[in-house]
Structure 1
Amino acid sequence: MRQFTAVVNPTAGGSTGAATLLQLARLLREAGAELETEYSHSLAHAQDIARRAGERGRIVLAVGGDGIAGGIGGALSGTGTVLGLVPAGRGNDFARALKLPADPAALAGILLHAEPRPVDTVEVESAVHHRTVVLGSVYAGVDAVANRHANQARLLRGAASYYAGGLRAVTTWRAADYRVTVDGEEHTHRGYTVVAANSPYYGSGRLIAPDARVDDGLLDVVMIREAPRRLFFALMNELKTGAHVHRPEVRVLRGKELRIEADRPVPYGADGEVDATLPATVRVRPGDLPMLY
């Protein structure tokens, strides 16, 4: 029977996360599985717990949102340790990409019986931030500013915090000149953002890269170029369905490695946790992490 170590971000999801884990723990133990729970006090601490559990041959469960999922997933990438997600955060975008159920009983069934399947991870490297590995996406531009605002929001949760953060970011953003090199081919781009997506979703359910797949060995590179502000607000609404990709202001490329540079220190983020500035190199690590989904 499976042995699990749940690594909990105590700040994600508040009481909802705790309630979900309590129900899940009961179901796993009733089925004969062994479960130990560890509470992290930082992302680095969560990663250390996960690595140590993996070295003992245990399946690691990341309990929280995309920050802890991406942080632990990145730490375990290439180690062979199996990862499961217990979505209990604000965004839960990678869990959404894996179509994981919110219902504890359905989730317990997957964690107990699903065979591990390899997913791709994303490595991002910059002179300042060194090397980080995440699961979902790397985004350079107005969305990194929006994410920073969302993380600072105290009164709003979920999609509302991202939407409010987006509005605040767009009103102050001025277009940047990017140079984006995808698998050796250079593209110039003036606009709002460049997103390297492993997962279709970011920003709490926004479908930034509708055709992205977590196991295809490729990154979908979404570039949104300069447009009047009113059009950008329309684009923000279209992110709910992925319809934005049909607009002439949006270009989608695919590749295994890209270099993103800009004419000024443009901020970039990765899975809600990394907060750094360009330039950065982003590459896919195909099938580097076995996951239960």
Structure 2
Amino acid sequence: MTSDITLFVNPAAGRGRGSRAVRPAAAVLRAAGFSVRTVLGHDAPDALRRAREAVAGGTGALIAVGGDGMVSLALRAVAGTPTPLGVIAAGTGNDFARTAGLPVRDPAAAAAIAARSLKGDGGRPVDLGRVGDTWFGTVLASGFDSRVNDRGNRMRFPTGRLRYDAALLAELAALRPIPYRLRLDDGPEQHIEATLVAVGNGRSYGGGMRICADARLDDGLFDVTVVGPCRRTTLLRVFPRVYRGTHLTHPAVTTHRATTVTIEADGITGYADGEPLGALPLTAETVPAAVRLLGAR
């Protein structure tokens, strides 16, 4: 194991928490005997290029400092390589870190765990999802939730969390079932109407919404949550249960497990790790032990 490791930083994550997390994280890693270099990028493609260069150059670990968007970029750099991934969760949602049992918004504690893991087991193998050449660690979202993201991304006002809330209310007013074509592994194509279909490598998205509450990072399977057609009043009643994962017992919700999932629906964008993947149809496959994750439980 080389003692040279790389902090892969989004300084803007969590309204500046990413930038503030670098110093305590680096101090802990250096105190543990590691040589630390920091990699930033002018934009996402530039950051990914720099991360891949660090991995190709033999860095002992790539440690993402930021939120799920930064972790998603880091996964693209390390997936399928021997380079382990560490996570200093300093973003808004931090769902990948939550699922892995890593500290959230405590950079010193997260760095200490990464250092112990590097000196010990070298990280635990965990699964990832893959759509084409894009990897994801948490959830592939499609339907009502992705429409909220689409609308929020188009809005100029309001800003911040209020923009998401405004987009949510607008999509709720326009709520209607979506005709899906869904295929699980080699099974038959299912024609269903649903409010959303979520494909989970991890349990949660959106900062703790446990949409695929029983998903595990090491079982080689996706958990697929299908929310059937709902009235607005039903969705409003069920929605708070998503944070506890108890929505899975509602009659409108069905769950499945599969290694490959193909989703088709007209006019729907797929999002994974909160980032747009593109319009459906999309096929996601689970890749067991695709990355070694430092400190995962």
TM-score with structure 1 setting the length: 0.91
SS at match of 2:150: helix
1:270 maps to which residue?
Answer: 272
1:124 maps to which residue?
Answer: 131
1:25-79: per-residue Cα shift (whole Å, max 9, x none)? 1121122211111112222222212211112221101111111111221332112
Matched, 1:148 2:155: no
Structure 1 residue ranges (4+ consecutive) displaced by more than 3 angstroms after TM superposition: 148-155, 160-168
Q: Distance in 2 between matches of 1:271 and 1:55?
A: 24
1:24 maps to which residue?
Answer: 25
SS at match of 1:239: helix
1:128 maps to which residue?
Answer: none
1:42 maps to which residue?
Answer: 43
Change (3 A) 1:205 1:162: farther
2:249 maps to which residue?
Answer: 246
Matched, 1:203 2:206: yes
2:137 maps to which residue?
Answer: 135
Q: Distance in 2 between matches of 1:164 and 1:207?
A: 22
CA RMSD of aligned residues (A): 1.9
Matched, 1:108 2:111: yes
Identity %: 35
SS at match of 2:160: coil
Q: Which runs of 5+ in 2 are unaligned?
A: none
Query: Is the Cα–Cα contact under 8 Å of residues 74 and 121 in structure 1 kept in the other structure?
Result: no
SS at match of 2:13: coil
Deviation of residue 164 (structure 1)?
Answer: 5.1
Change (3 A) 1:14 1:249: same
Letter in 1 for 2:172: V
Q: Distance in 1 between matches of 2:237 and 2:116?
A: 43
1:105-136: per-residue Cα shift (whole Å, max 9, x none)? 321221111131111111114xxxxx322111
Q: What is the number of equivalent residue pairs in this alignment?
A: 285
Q: Distance in 1 between matches of 2:166 and 2:241?
A: 16
Q: Distance in 2 between matches of 1:145 and 1:41?
A: 28
Deviation of residue 187 (structure 1)?
Answer: 2.5
Change (3 A) 1:148 1:286: same
Query: Is the Cα–Cα contact under 8 Å of residues 140 and 194 in structure 1 kept in the other structure?
Result: yes
Query: Is the Cα–Cα contact under 8 Å of residues 12 and 19 in structure 2 kept in the other structure?
Result: no
Q: Distance in 1 between matches of 2:91 and 2:158?
A: 14
Q: Distance in 2 between matches of 1:167 and 1:239?
A: 17
Query: Is the Cα–Cα contact under 8 Å of residues 28 and 111 in structure 2 kept in the other structure?
Result: yes
Q: Distance in 1 between matches of 2:75 and 2:135?
A: 8
Q: Distance in 2 between matches of 1:16 and 1:3?
A: 24
Query: Is the Cα–Cα contact under 8 Å of residues 179 and 261 in structure 1 kept in the other structure?
Result: yes
SS at match of 1:13: helix
